[in-house]
Structure formats: structure tokens, C-alpha cells
Structure 1
């Protein structure tokens, strides 16, 4: 209708009055505003023979015709558009790990923190001799296994061992032959996650 002149044929004078009256209020005014963008010519039905109307309607019949709806429940809305909603971003869990090796023994620990702030600690005593770096790797691997078992796909990892964190991130190379297998195992575990980051913080902040 935007590209053609439309002839509105009606024998009801109120319709013509509504369209041509300069002063209207309420719903009638909104109707006038909505229809003002179209090029509509109002013609009295008395001026056109009924056969001409019937012939015109016959030529414009379609199989998918749907009757017009004259109720406007959303009459205050001038425009409606569709917008694709983005799926909410998955909230990430956090994991902190630490390992220790000294004359008193060898132990590792990890703490999982849910997006809601719940803490889940894990601690293990190692029954074999190891260095501090091996203990740190063991702690990280234990924590990653715990996260994978819970089917968590987004994780932020925090550790106070610069060597382990930077080797896992690929910033530093693995020169100690005893740590190569640990580094390779962590690289395999990382593949289980959709998004994972490794962050270093100083020991005094642990």
C-alpha cells in the first residue's frame, strides 16, 4: 500500500469523517496517525456500481487469504522488531592449587570455588619423594581432575608457582626432564575445557 494509491469504498460516513477531520482525540486520533502515511482516497460506494466491486474482488482472490483483524490490543506500540537473544555466558568456576615438599613430608591441595562462592577443598599426602615443582604440578593435576569429574567447562586457575603457571601457559619452556610428562598431562586435560585460564599470583597473596 505504500507504493500505490488506495481507494477506500464505503457507504459509512463516519469513516470518511474520521479520515478527513482535522481534530480528533483518543483512539480515533491514533487511527488517523497510523493511516496518514498511506495514499488513501475515500470514495462513496454510491458512485461505483456493485458489479464493478464484485469483478474487482474476483480478480484479487487468493488461496492464502486471511481476514483482517480490526482489534489492536497493542495500540500504543508504533513498531515491533525481532532481536535474537544471546545465550547467557556460562559462569566460570575458580581453582587455586598449591604443593609443598620439605623434610616433614610432601602434600598437595586445591580449592574449587563455585560462581555462587561455595568452596570445595581437596588435600592429599604424597607417599613418594618429589621436588616442590613436582608437588605443584601434582596439585594442579589433582584439581583439574576434580573439575573435569564435575563436568565444569569454564575455569580460572590460580597458582603461586611462577614456573608451573608460565610453563602451562607456554611462556616458558620445560627444561627439567622430570616435568615434561607433567606438562604434557596438563596439556591433555586442558582439552576437556571450553575456556580455561591460568593466572599467577605471588606466594604472599596465596
Structure 2
């Protein structure tokens, strides 16, 4: 939930950045940016946050000045019909949330397919010589002018899912398996 709040804060800060000058008077523009954030449809769910919470779209200030068809229709209803219409809207909230959830799942599947198109499968065989990448968070990392790879190592075992077990040239085996993305063939 914390990541969701951070993402929302980042988006609201972006809106404030666009409508203020150097963050001067941001507190006066905050209600407008919040209204814009809550009434803009999200690509991930295909709906506005306001719709998912309250079951109906928000009435924006422009609709009060110049009523839309939706506002005119609601204004012409008597109290009993209006209450019935609101009750029907509340009954549809779960359906709208379900549609938004399905929309999010479809978006995740599309993104995964697009990512998987770019992934190259690397097949290694036992006894091949490879170089291992040195990551910045590892102890062997010496700075930006140091070599990026270390080795050569010998592939001892190929595991499922693209992982391999490496052995140093002197026969000492690595304790952890390594993802095949972090190694490449060594050409002597």
C-alpha cells in the first residue's frame, strides 16, 4: 500500500509542478490538482479513482456552470426516482471494480508479452568458459574504470529457469547459482 501512496504523491507533485511557478502558492493549487488526479482515468484500471470508490463519475465545476446531459437528467428526476437511480449506481460499484480489475490484469499480460519479446534466451552447456558480470553492490566492484566482468569460469551445472552453477578455473565451486543474464561466453 505504501508504494501506491508514493506513486499517487509523485503524480500529484507532477500536476502541481505543471500548474505552479517554482512551487510558489502550491497550497492554493492543491485542491485543483487533487480534483484533476481523482477525475482522470488511469490506464492500468481503465477508470477514475472516484468512479471506483463512489460508483459514479465526479461532478466537476465546469458541469455546474454548464450542465452536461448527465446533470440535466438527474436534475429532472424527482426524489424517489433519484434515490432509486443512486441505489442502482451503488449496486453497480462491484461490477465496475471487477471490470477495472480485469482491465488491470489484461494490461499486465500485455506488458509481460511485450517484455518477453525482448528477452533473449541464453543456452549454456556444461564445460563452457564464461565471464561473470561484476555488479556495483558486490565487494569486487572497484569503481567506474574497473573491469565490468570477471573470469573465466567453467559452467558446472545448468539449472532450469536460466540459472547456472559456476566453478573457478582451480576447481572451487560457487556457493550460489547465477542467472544466465549475468554471464556471457568467454572467447579465448
Q: TM-score by structure 1 length?
A: 0.21
More strand by share: 1
More helix by share: 2
